[in-house]
A and B are shown apart, each in its own frame.
Chain A
C-alpha cells in the first residue's frame, strides 16, 4: 500500500470553529509532514514529525497544532483560523526524515480548507 490518505477532502469552517485534519499512511514510513499550499504557489512546509516526535516547526502560528498519535497517523488541529489560512493542506510521508539524503516523499490528495 503506497497511499497516503487525508480526510476530509473539503472543509469549510468559521473563524471560531475547532476542526481537525487527518492523515494516514501504512507504508511504515517514520517521517510525516504537513504542507500548506496557496493557489499557484509551491507547497510550504509547516511541520515535520520524525519517529512520532515533532522535529521541525516552521514558525507556524499556534492556531495550527499538530499531533502524531502513532507512526501511521498525523493530525492537524485547527482553532481560531483566519480567512488567509484558506489553502490546500497536504500531508506527506517518507521513509525517514533524511529527505535531503535521497528519500522521496509520498503525498496525500490534500484537504481544501476554506475559512469564512
Chain B
C-alpha cells in the first residue's frame, strides 16, 4: 500500500548537532508533507514539498525530494532540546485523496 516509511525509527543526538531522517514511498506522488508531534499532542505541519520541487527550506528545516528514488529527507540543523518529538512523513494515497502517515521517526535531542 502507499505509505511512507521513515528511517531511522529512532534517533538520539546531542544539542547543536544536525538530525536527518528519511522517508521512502512506493508510487508516484504529487506532494509529500512532514509533520511533527510532541509527546501525546496533536501534529504540527512543518513543510509541504511538491513533486516538481527538489528542496524547500523553513527556518532550521530543510526538506529534499528525489522522485526518481521515491524518497524524501528532513534535515534539522543546530538541533535544540525542544526539537525532541516524533516526525512523520505524509503521502497522498492517490493524487487527490487523503494522506497516509508513515510510522515516524522518534527524535531525542539531549541537552
Query: B99 — which chain A residues lie within 8 A by C-beta?
Result: 99-100, 105
Contacting pair A99 B42 (CB below 8 A)? no
Query: B97 — which chain A residues lie within 8 A by C-beta?
Result: 99-100
* Extra A-B contacts (15), CB below 8 Å, given A45-B100, A101-B30: A42-B88, A42-B101, A42-B103, A45-B98, A88-B40, A92-B43, A99-B98, A100-B93, A100-B94, A107-B35, A107-B42, A107-B43, A107-B44, A108-B42, A110-B40
**Interface size classification for chain A:** 20 to 34
A100 CB contact (under 8 Å) in B31, B45, B102: B31
Query: B96 — which chain A residues lie within 8 A by C-beta?
Result: 98, 100-101
Contacting pair B95 A106 (CB below 8 A)? no
CA distance A77 to B52 in the complex (A): 41
Contacting pair A48 B40 (CB below 8 A)? no
Q: B41 within 8 Å of A by Cβ? A: yes
Given contacts A99-B92, A100-B93, A102-B48, contact A42 B102 (CB under 8 A): yes
Chain B contacts to A: CB under 8 angstroms? 30-31, 33, 35, 40-45, 48, 50, 88, 92-104, 106
For the A-B complex, the count of residue pairs with Cβ-Cβ distances under 8 Å equals 65
CA distance A56 to B52 in the complex (A): 28
Contacting pair B92 A41 (CB below 8 A)? no
- Closest CB in chain B relative to A39 CB, distance in Å: 9
- A13-45 interface code vs B (CB 8 A; 1 in, 0 out): 000000000000000000001000000111101
Contacting pair B45 A105 (CB below 8 A)? yes
In the complex, which residue of chain B has the Cβ closest to the Cβ of A105?
Answer: B45
Contacting pair B88 A104 (CB below 8 A)? no
Q: Please, could you name 13 A-B residue pairs with CB atoms under 8 Å apart, sorted by A?
A: A42-B102, A42-B103, A43-B43, A99-B92, A99-B98, A99-B99, A100-B96, A100-B98, A101-B96, A105-B43, A107-B44, A108-B42, A112-B40
Query: A81 — which chain B residues lie within 8 A by C-beta?
Result: none
Query: A100 — which chain B residues lie within 8 A by C-beta?
Result: 30-31, 92-99
In the complex, which residue of chain B has the Cβ closest to the Cβ of A33?
Answer: B98
CA distance A33 to B101 in the complex (A): 14
CA distance A101 to B62 in the complex (A): 21
In the complex, which residue of chain A has the Cβ closest to the Cβ of B89?
Answer: A42
